[in-house]
Amino acid sequence: MPDTHHPTGPHRSASVLVTGATGNLGREVVQRLRARGAQVRRLVRHRTGADHGVESVVGDLTDPTAFRAALLGVDAVLLIWPLLDSAPAHELVAELVAAAPRVVYVSSTAIDDAAARQSDPIVQVHADMEVLLRDAGLRPVLLRSDTLASNARGWAAQLRSGDVIAGPDVARTAVVDERDVADAAVAVLLAPPHARLDPHPYLLTGPEVLSRADQVARLGAALRRRLSFQALPADLARSRMLADGRPERLVEALLAASAHRPDSHRVTDHVERLTGRPAGTFARWAVDHVAEFR
């Protein structure tokens, strides 16, 4: 495990740029960095209210000028790539090379390193981004995350109107609490320059492999309701997701993942290696978030 107790020298705290800072994972990372005394900067598309001591640069990851401004003086960057195409990232990578911070990229455990092509567009773009960062000579720290527990927040609207969660089925996987991924990310972002970080990807998983139905059952237990999961055929799932306002390209990528991504039975101790404590369960996540589903 890297030495993360004294991430900087005695003269100043670390400065970290967080992309995706308003998302489920990014928000958790920002909170933890602030608690550790780091100087935090966010790259955000829109300024939203008070930043509570966090500096914000308004811009987009595809805007090299804004990204260059956001990189000024930072020691480390948490990179969360939101697009289904890596091509717009080439200018971003050039800015990273020029600024030379530590780059921590949040990727996917679904990547198959032996495959010429990945199972679906979502995994493919992560694999492409990893190659792009490595080929640029950045030596990124790769945090390959399993399915985030926070994805379950997408069920909240259905649960307000009934006890059935309907949607495309997905592969069984070791769902990981986004708070654990955030803790792991912060440990790496604030690790001292001499820390021995693994050049191979960290594989961040939860402690048990769960199906979509397993997750729904555990959420039901936390809510004290008898919930069930209904797998929808692709055509019906597509029409519902489009009606909910999701972009067509994302909908097609999600359906491709549902159809082609294989089950994963991998459970690792990499969260513990980075944070010093075991990964939490989805059941615990559900208990901690019951208010969001009522």
**What's 164's domain CATH number?**
3.40.50.720
Q: Quote the pLDDT of residue 200.
A: 95
97 three-class SS: helix
* Residue 3 covered by a domain: no
* Residue 5 covered by a domain: no
Count of structural domains, the chain: 1
* Residue 10 covered by a domain: no
Q: Phi, psi at residue 78, to the nearest 5°?
A: -95, 115
* Residue 61 covered by a domain: yes
Q: Quote the pLDDT of residue 134.
A: 97
* Residue 252 covered by a domain: yes
Q: Phi, psi at residue 159, to the nearest 5°?
A: -70, -20
Across the chain, which has 294 residues, the per-10-residue mean pLDDT values are 42 84 95 95 79 84 94 97 96 96 98 97 98 96 98 94 95 97 98 89 98 98 97 96 94 96 97 98 98 94
* Residue 204 covered by a domain: yes
Nearest to 42 by CA among 62, 24, 64, 16: 16
Q: Quote the pLDDT of residue 48.
A: 67
Tallying the residues shown for the chain, one arrives at 294
Is the Cβ–Cβ distance between 26 and 3 less than 8 Å? no
Q: Quote the pLDDT of residue 13.
A: 77
24: exposed, middle or buried (Cβ count in 10 Å: 0-12, 13-18, 19+): middle
Residue type, 33: L
Range of the domain at 123: 15-292
Q: Quote the pLDDT of residue 6.
A: 39
Tell me which H or E stretch contains 272.
helix 270-275
* Residue 7 covered by a domain: no
Is the Cβ–Cβ distance between 27 and 181 less than 8 Å? no
* Residue 154 covered by a domain: yes
Q: Quote the pLDDT of residue 5.
A: 41
